[in-house]
């Protein structure tokens, strides 16, 4: 259904942008994270109580870390860990009146929720992972929770911008600008692989249109000499621009975009081209868009793995030193496992 729509969409974008090659169907995921990698990851970042710790940010947790934890536990086929992570997520974060997850949890604060607001990518990840687990493991509890979260996302976070369906970054704030009607979005919150699952969970909401707008957004939000999207983009009737009040960078948010595109089935072509080019010419980096220069080189294997996955899509084997996973910090380690999961499922020849 939506899998084919997304495929068609990516094809359309591909045609429009000169992308060649067919996109493929949705991911199976289960088993694409090896148990040894998962044990190494969860020993480091997942606590007994199911809290996934972002150790580079003062040991806080957030809806995104819980969502990634669920997705990786599912990919590793670890039902017990999934259950732990889910229990923490439900009890500690899914306490909002609107059914979305509060995004920021700090062990040092009392109460632990330090910002009740949500972050939409966290909600999407959680609903997506729950939906996958419900389907694979036949757990009705997961299905019920996934459905109500998906409906809540559809109801509270989808809105229109320039006649397209977009994902608001949060339920509070991020209002349309009163001056120029612009709306700030985060292109890296479009986790394309999740939308077919959300479509099944909450069929009354326009997930296909959301996927379509996301691909168009990423194809069009190309700023500066590097032609890359900004972490935060303002959509206004006049067009797209790096969002005011945010640094105009291709940063820690946006670096996930090519990974999400790959995992959703994108193949080399104009949509991926600027990311490939940046990988080849600059390497993993936070890139300042106006100048197109690297503000900060990223040496962690997790970030290098993102570039390696892109190169692999064009046939380049994964470098030997990246084949073995060693957890470093939460975020790059997570990106590593997600990228490796993609390579294992779609590009095993690169290994």
Partner 1 sequence: MSVKAFGQLTLVAAVSTFIVMEALSPPREPTVDAITTGSISATNPPPRARQDPIVVSQAMPEELPVETQLSAPAAAARRSTDSVDESALRYFARQGDTRRLDAEIARLKAIYPNWQPPSDPLAPEDYSDPELDRMWALFSDGRYADVRAAIADRRAKEPDWVAPDALVQLLDQADARIRLTNASDAKQWNAVVEIAAGTPSLLTCDYVDALWRVAEAFASTARIDRAEDVYTYILTNCENPNERVATVQKAVALLPQAEADKLFSFERGNEFQAARDDRIRQRVGKIAETEEGAADAADLTRLEALATTGSEAADPQVLGWYYYRREKPSIALEWFDKARARDPESAKSAEGYTLTLNDLERYAEAETIGYDWIESSEDNLAAYLGSVVGLLSIDPPVKVSESVLDRIVAVVVKARNPEAGEQLGWYAYNLNQTRTAERWFATVLKWAPDYEPAAFGLATTLLALKDKAGANEIIRAWSDRSERIANILKPVKADLRGPRYVVDAPTYDREGEVVAAPVRRSTAPAPVKSTASARCGGSGPVNTLSPAAALPRGWCLMDLNRPVEAAAAFEIALRSSDAGTRSDAAYGASLANLRSGVTDKAAVAAAAAPQTEKQRTELTVSILTQQALAMYGEGRYNETILALDARNQYAQEQNDLLVLRGFAYLNLRRYADAKRIFQAAAGTGSPDAIRGLAEVQAAQNGLR
- Name the residues that contact partner 1, by CB under 8 A: 48-50, 79-84, 87-88, 90-92, 94-97, 99, 102, 111-113, 116, 137-138
- Of residues 153 and 278, the one with the C-beta less far from partner 1: 153
- Of residues 15 and 39, the one with the C-beta less far from partner 1: 39
- Of residues 102 and 199, the one with the C-beta less far from partner 1: 102
Is 307 part of the annotated catalytic residue set? Answer: no
- Whether the Cβ atoms of residue 78 and residue 66 lie closer than 8 Å to each other: no
Residue 167 to residue 131: CA distance in whole angstroms: 19
The least CB distance from residue 97 to partner 1, in Å, is 4
Residue 285 to residue 295: CA distance in whole angstroms: 7
Annotated catalytic residue, options 121, 123, 231, 307: 121
List the structure tokens of 75.
Answer: 């990919």
Q: Which residues contact 216 (CB under 8 A, 6 or more apart)?
A: 13, 164
- Of residues 94 and 259, the one with the C-beta less far from partner 1: 94
| Phi, psi for 167 (deg, rounded to 5) | -100, 115
- Whether the Cβ atoms of residue 105 and residue 122 lie closer than 8 Å to each other: no
* Alpha carbon of residue 50 to chain centroid: 21
- Of residues 80 and 108, the one with the C-beta less far from partner 1: 80
The least CB distance from residue 307 to partner 1, in Å, is 36
- Of residues 138 and 348, the one with the C-beta less far from partner 1: 138
- Whether the Cβ atoms of residue 257 and residue 188 lie closer than 8 Å to each other: yes
The least CB distance from residue 113 to partner 1, in Å, is 5
Q: Which residues contact 187 (CB under 8 A, 6 or more apart)?
A: 214, 217, 218, 221, 229, 233, 254, 257
Place of tokens 């020993």: 43
Q: From 276, 253, 260, select the one nearest 342 (Cα to Cα).
A: 260
Beta strands in the chain (DSSP E): 61-62, 104-105, 113-115, 158-161, 164-167, 183-185, 233-236, 239-242, 249-250, 285-288, 293-297
Residue 18 to residue 219: CA distance in whole angstroms: 11
CA angle 305, 339, 85 (to 5 degrees): 125
- Of residues 3 and 50, the one with the C-beta less far from partner 1: 50
Cα-Cα end-to-end distance for the chain: 31
Catalytic residues: 121
């Amino acid at each position: 259904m939506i899998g084919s729509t997304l495929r068609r969409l990516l094809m359309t974008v591909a045609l429009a942008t000169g992308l060649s090659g067919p996109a493929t169907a949705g991911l199976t995921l289960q088993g694409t994270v090896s148990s040894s990698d998962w044990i190494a990851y969860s020993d480091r970042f997942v606590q007994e109580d199911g809290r996934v710790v972002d150790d580079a940010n003062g040991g806080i947790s957030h809806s995104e870390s819980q969502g990634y934890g669920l997705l990786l536990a599912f990919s590793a086929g670890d039902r017990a860990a999934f259950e732990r992570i889910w229990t923490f997520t439900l009890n500690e974060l899914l306490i909002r009146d609107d059914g979305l997850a509060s995004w920021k949890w700090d062990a040092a604060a009392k109460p632990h929720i330090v910002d009740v607001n949500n972050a939409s990518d966290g909600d999407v990840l959680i609903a997506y992972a729950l939906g996958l687990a419900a389907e694979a493991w036949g757990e009705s509890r997961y299905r019920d929770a996934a459905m109500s979260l998906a409906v809540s996302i559809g109801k509270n976070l989808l809105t229109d911008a320039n006649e397209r369906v977009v994902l608001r970054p949060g339920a509070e704030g991020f209002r349309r600008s009163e001056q120029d009607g612009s709306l700030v979005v985060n292109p890296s919150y479009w986790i394309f692989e999740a939308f077919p699952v959300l479509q099944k969970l909450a069929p009354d909401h326009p997930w296909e249109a959301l996927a379509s707008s996301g691909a168009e957004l990423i194809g069009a939000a190309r700023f500066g000499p590097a032609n890359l999207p900004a972490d935060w983009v303002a959509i206004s009737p006049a067009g797209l621009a790096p969002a005011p009040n945010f640094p105009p960078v291709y940063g820690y948010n946006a670096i996930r975009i090519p990974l999400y595109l790959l995992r959703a089935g994108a193949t080399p072509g104009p949509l991926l081209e600027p990311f490939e080019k940046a990988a080849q010419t600059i390497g993993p980096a936070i890139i300042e868009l106006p100048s197109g220069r690297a503000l900060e080189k990223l040496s962690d294997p997790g970030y290098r793995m993102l570039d390696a996955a892109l190169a692999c899509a064009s046939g380049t084997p994964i470098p030997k030193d990246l084949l073995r996973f060693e957890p470093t910090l939460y975020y790059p380690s997570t990106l590593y496992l997600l990228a490796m999961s993609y390579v294992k499922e779609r590009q095993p020849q690169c290994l």
